[in-house]
């Protein structure tokens, strides 16, 4: 949201397609870097990839701060800066690998929740703090190989079905939040006739509130996981996410305000003359000197899809804000336990890469569906994806156990 506004302010030649690449470049960089840093940490001291990644992040953010200075090609400098910031953020695989190796099974969930809480604080304070906060979680500790209660367990075969299933679950969890994060701005501008500046301000407040909510959820998870276990929390989180998107489906007979300004561009959708006249009759005229607001009439669904009420949207956001952090931390906590005592750098790299791929595909998926078919189809399909994910979790539920438990070394 803020990235889009920044690109437009810095370089007016950036079109919608280029904006998509700018947004995706962070995740592309992270997807490439995560397996590399993970492999590096398996064979060398973990300090090395962490120091290098933090140096890249600092350099990239310095470039980011001065992309407005060159006289031309500013959008390309921002594209490179975003990609390098994402590359530096690939160190999250190393951090999760370290936590997995430095904690016992009993400590694992709590430690992962603490790391996620640091990331959530970074989400609230600003994107440039995310990597630093994650690194600060592990500051002043020994990043060399750490021993755990699993270290003495004889080597065995990792359950590859559980590994693949957990990667799929993590992909879907990140996919869902990425598409929600992407659709917030166009949805609120279409439904509530907010200007671009209002959308940036109000949606920023909403997303910051979700960050605060996530920190609270992470603290609650630390206690709740000891009573009901990680798998139950993961299942419950997916159900809460499904309810959130179900509530977001449009109902009733009140329709969004139509954006008048686009009529002068001859961009009339394939609708009947009567539908257009009725829609325009109900829409108040605006001062054409102001930024056009409302649901653009070239989106034909604006004429027949009911609006999503603000209370409906806020309730949905609150529920997704509960379900997403629960599923997120439980996914990679279970993943780390499934992998067992072997070095996890590469595996954690692939998990992070799957999440990065989700953050690339999610925005593309939702933007195409939303623009062409509207929120009813878009969110209905999201609900369907969540249902399939719940079914997958139920199928592999009994396999999502710690390596030591699977091999009978520790009782669950």
Q: From first to last of its 412 residues, what are the pLDDT tens digits of the chain?
A: 555 555 545 655 655 556 667 777 888 888 888 888 888 888 888 888 888 888 998 998 898 788 777 777 777 888 888 889 888 888 887 887 777 777 777 777 777 777 777 766 776 665 433 333 333 344 344 444 444 444 444 456 888 899 999 999 999 999 998 888 888 888 898 899 888 888 888 888 998 898 889 889 988 988 888 889 889 999 999 999 999 999 999 988 888 888 765 444 444 444 443 444 444 444 444 444 567 788 888 888 888 889 999 999 999 999 999 999 999 989 888 888 888 877 777 888 888 888 888 888 888 788 788 888 989 999 999 999 999 999 999 999 999 988 877 766 555 5
Please give the Cα distance from 364 to 197 (Å, whole number). Answer: 23
Same domain membership, residue 79 and residue 228: no
pLDDT at 178: 86
> Rounded distance, CA 191 to CA 200, Å?
15
Per-residue pLDDT, 17: 55
Residues 59 and 167 in one domain: no
Question: Is there a single domain that holds both residue 87 and residue 112?
Answer: no
Q: How far apart are CA 395 and CA 402, in angstroms?
A: 17
- In this predicted structure, what is the pLDDT of residue 164? 93
Query: What is the 3-state composition of the chain as percent helix, strand, coil, each rounded to the nearest 5?
Result: 75, 0, 25
Query: DSSP string of 265-288?
Result: GT---S--HHHHHHHHHHSPP--T
Domain membership of residue 312 (yes or no) is: yes
Q: Decide: 177 and 320 in contact? Cβ < 8 Å.
A: yes
Alpha carbons 327 and 171: distance in angstroms, whole number:
11
Token pair 């990680």: residue: 230
- Does 78 share its domain with 199? no
Interacting residues of 363 by C-beta distance below 8 A, sequence separation 6+: 20, 23, 24, 178, 179, 182
The answer to the question of residue 138 being in a domain is no
Same domain, 42 and 190: no
Are residues 240 and 363 located together in one domain of the fold? Answer: yes
Is 146 contained in some domain? no
- Do 66 and 114 lie in a common domain? no
Residue 269: the pLDDT is 46
Query: Does 405 reside within a domain?
Result: yes
Examine the domain organization and report whether 49 and 172 are in the same domain: no
Q: What is the CATH number of the domain that holds 207?
A: 1.20.1250.20
Which residues constitute the domain of residue 41? 1-102
The C-alpha atoms of residue 270 and residue 338 are separated, in whole angstroms, by 53
Q: Total domain count for the chain?
A: 2
3-state secondary structure of 20: helix
Long-range residue pairs from 121-125, CB within 8 A, at least 24 positions apart, any chain: 121/211, 121/215, 123/207, 123/211, 123/214, 124/208, 124/211, 124/212, 124/215
Q: Record the tokens describing residue 273, joined without a space.
A: 């003359």
Which regions of 54-207 does DSSP assign to beta strands (E)? none
Indicate whether 288 belongs to any domain.
no
Task: Say if residue 303 is in the same domain as residue 406.
Answer: yes
Tell me, yes or no, whether 348 lies in a domain.
yes
Residue 182 lies in a domain: yes
Looking at the structure, tell me whether residues 73 and 114 fall in a common domain.
no
Is residue 231 within 8 Å of residue 240, measured between CB atoms? no
CA distance 6 to 26: 15
Residue 7 counted as domain residue: yes
| Alpha carbon separation from 130 to 117, 157, 172, 187, 208 (Å, rounded) | 11, 35, 22, 26, 14
The C-alpha atoms of residue 52 and residue 179 are separated, in whole angstroms, by 31
Q: Are residues 223 and 344 in the same domain?
A: yes
**Nearest Cα to Cα of residue 363 among 28, 81, 130, 124:** 28
- Do 196 and 211 have their domain in common? yes
């Amino acid at each position: 949201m803020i990235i889009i506004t920044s690109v437009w302010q810095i370089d007016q030649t950036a079109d919608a397609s280029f904006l998509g690449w700018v947004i995706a470049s962070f995740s592309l960089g992270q997807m490439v870097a995560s397996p590399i840093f993970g492999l590096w940490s398996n064979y060398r001291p973990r300090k090395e990839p962490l120091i290098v990644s933090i140096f890249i992040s600092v350099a990239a953010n310095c470039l980011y701060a001065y992309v407005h200075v060159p006289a031309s090609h500013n959008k390309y400098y921002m594209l490179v800066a975003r990609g390098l910031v994402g590359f530096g953020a690939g160190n999250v695989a190393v951090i999760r690998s370290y936590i997995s190796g430095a904690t016992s099974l009993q400590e694992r969930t709590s430690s992962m929740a603490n790391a996620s809480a640091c990331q959530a604080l970074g989400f609230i304070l600003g994107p440039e703090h995310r990597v630093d906060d994650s690194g600060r979680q592990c500051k002043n500790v020994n990043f060399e190989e750490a021993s755990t209660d699993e270290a003495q367990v004889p080597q065995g075969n990792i359950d590859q079905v559980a590994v693949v299933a957990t990667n799929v679950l993590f992909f879907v969890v990140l996919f869902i939040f990425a598409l929600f994060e992407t659709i917030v701005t166009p949805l609120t501008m279409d439904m509530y006739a907010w200007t671009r500046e209002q959308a940036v301000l109000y949606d920023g407040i909403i997303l910051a509130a979700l960050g605060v909510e996530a920190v609270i959820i992470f603290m609650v998870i630390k206690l709740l996981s000891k009573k009901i276990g990680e798998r139950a929390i993961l299942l419950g989180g997916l159900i809460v996410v499904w309810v959130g998107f179900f509530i977001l489906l449009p109902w009733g007979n009140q329709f969004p305000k139509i954006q008048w300004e686009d009529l002068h561009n001859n961009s009339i959708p394939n609708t009947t003359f009567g539908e257009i006249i009725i829609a325009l009759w109900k829409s108040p005229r605006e001062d054409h000197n102001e930024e056009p607001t409302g649901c653009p009439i070239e989106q034909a669904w604006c004429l027949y899809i009911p609006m999503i009420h603000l209370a409906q949207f806020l309730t949905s956001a609150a529920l997704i804000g509960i379900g997403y952090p629960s599923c997120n931390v439980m996914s990679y906590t279970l993943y780390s336990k499934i992998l067992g005592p072997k070095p996890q750098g590469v595996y954690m790299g692939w998990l992070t890469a799957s999440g990065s791929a989700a953050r690339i595909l999610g925005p593309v998926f939702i933007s195409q569906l939303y623009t062409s078919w509207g929120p009813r189809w878009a969110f209905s399909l999201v609900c369907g994806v969540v249902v399939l994910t719940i079914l997958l979790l139920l199928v592999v539920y009994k396999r999502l156990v710690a390596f030591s438990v699977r091999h009978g070394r520790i009782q669950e």
